[in-house]
Amino acid sequence: MTDDTERARIESMVIDFLVERFELPRERLTAGTGLRDLGLDSMIMLDVLLDVEDRLGVKMRDLAMPPNPKISDITALVARNLAAR
């Protein structure tokens, strides 16, 4: 898979989780959407990462994130962890 394809797959997974878990409208969720903009906090980000870990079978070791992460930041974090395994 190309990096772009892998990132798109991860981003889709993150968005799917947010839609399923918090009943958010999919059309509001883009790579640039911040969790805080959705009314979600950093604890929610941990839920997202745990779900991604389960789906991809990878353990997140690098958890460095900006204070108000966007969906693209979560996608990049997961991609970094996948690349490091």
What pLDDT score was predicted for residue 1?
Answer: 54
What pLDDT score was predicted for residue 15?
Answer: 93
Contact 63, 29 (CB under 8 A): no
What pLDDT score was predicted for residue 81?
Answer: 87
Contact 49, 74 (CB under 8 A): yes
What is the set of domains in the chain, with CATH numbers? 3-84 (1.10.1200)
Q: Which residues contact 33 (CB under 8 A, 6 or more apart)?
A: 70, 71
Side-chain-side CA neighbours of residue 11 (13 Å): 17
Segment among 11-15, 20-24, 45-49 with least mean pLDDT: 45-49
Encoded tokens for 38: 């959705």
User: How many Å separate Cα 64 from the centre of its chain?
Assistant: 13
Q: Work out the pLDDT band at 70, boundaries 50, 70, 90.
A: very high
pLDDT at 2 over 70: no
